[in-house]
Amino acid sequence: MIPLVLIRHGPTDWNAAGRIQGHTDVPLSEAGRRAVRTWRLPAEIAEATGDWDWLTSPLARAQETAQILLPAAAHKFLRREPALIEMHWGTWEGHSLAEVRQAGGTETADAEARGLDFCPPGGESPRQVQARLAPLLAALDARRRPVVAITHKGVIRAVLAQATGWNMTGRAPARLQDGCAHRFVLDGAGAPRIERLNIPLEGSEAAP
């Protein structure tokens, strides 16, 4: 079993305003940078830099989070991975969910009820996110090295759904908290399994 640790990027101004980001390349806010500076990787990761692979989404908010959070020794090994980019929200990007729900009425509600097959206009579905992640997870599994990846909520939810069989309708099997690491393992065939979710990054060295 290969460890796969997924971490969502720090806060942005669009997060604070409740605006959908998707592929829009929004940087961390000043408050976000301050928050990430308080984060610490779990000791077993931070103290074994050379034993881990380090990946980041190509979007600025993830790359900046990686540069602040990861040990300096890991920076030269950090690799941008296109498959880790956030789910594409199409024409909804830049708007709040309240705005798109009000504009779309029952059509929007019907779309959201499709779960894994929910697809914003011009965007992609969580099932499509899982499909683009599949070759990456298989390749990481084949390398037989543990991985830390700085990515996005939509990506982590897609991995969670795959690991639990959740079809993204109804209540999620677990609530993913921000400012945390989410530790999965790859099962030898590139399929993720949950090991531990919501590991606090702020003061994580003392966390159980």
Q: What is the pLDDT of residue 206?
A: 37
- Find the mean pLDDT for residues 158-182: 96
For 34, the enclosing helix (H) or strand (E) is helix 30-37
Token couple for 23: 């592929």
Which CATH superfamily includes the segment(s) 2-206?
Phosphoglycerate mutase-like (3.40.50.1240)
Q: Among 83, 84, 154, which residue's Cα sits nearest to residue 120? A: 154
Q: Annotated catalytic sites, by residue?
A: 9, 86
Average pLDDT value over all residues in the chain: 93
Spans of all domains in the chain: 2-206
Is residue 203 scored above 80 in pLDDT?
Answer: no
User: C-alpha dihedral over 147, 149, 154, 156, to 10 degrees?
Assistant: 30
Give the pLDDT confidence of 119-154 residue by residue, as tens digits. 999 999 999 999 999 999 999 999 999 999 999 999
Q: What is the pLDDT of residue 207?
A: 36
Residue 34: what are its φ and ψ, rounded to 5°? -60, -40
Contact indicator for 78, 56 with CB cutoff of 8 Å:
yes
DSSP three-state, residue 79: strand
Give the pLDDT confidence of 72-87 residue by residue, as tens digits. 888 989 999 999 999 9
Distance, CA of 63 to chain centre = 12
**Structure-model confidence comparison of residues 71 and 25, the more confident one:** 25
Rg (CA), the chain: 17
Give the pLDDT confidence of 177-195 residue by residue, as tens digits. 999 999 999 998 899 999 9
Is residue 204 scored above 60 in pLDDT?
Answer: no
Give the pLDDT confidence of 41-64 residue by residue, as tens digits. 998 898 888 889 999 999 999 999
pTM: 0.94
205: confidence class by pLDDT, cuts 50, 70, 90: very low
Is residue 38 scored above 80 in pLDDT?
Answer: yes
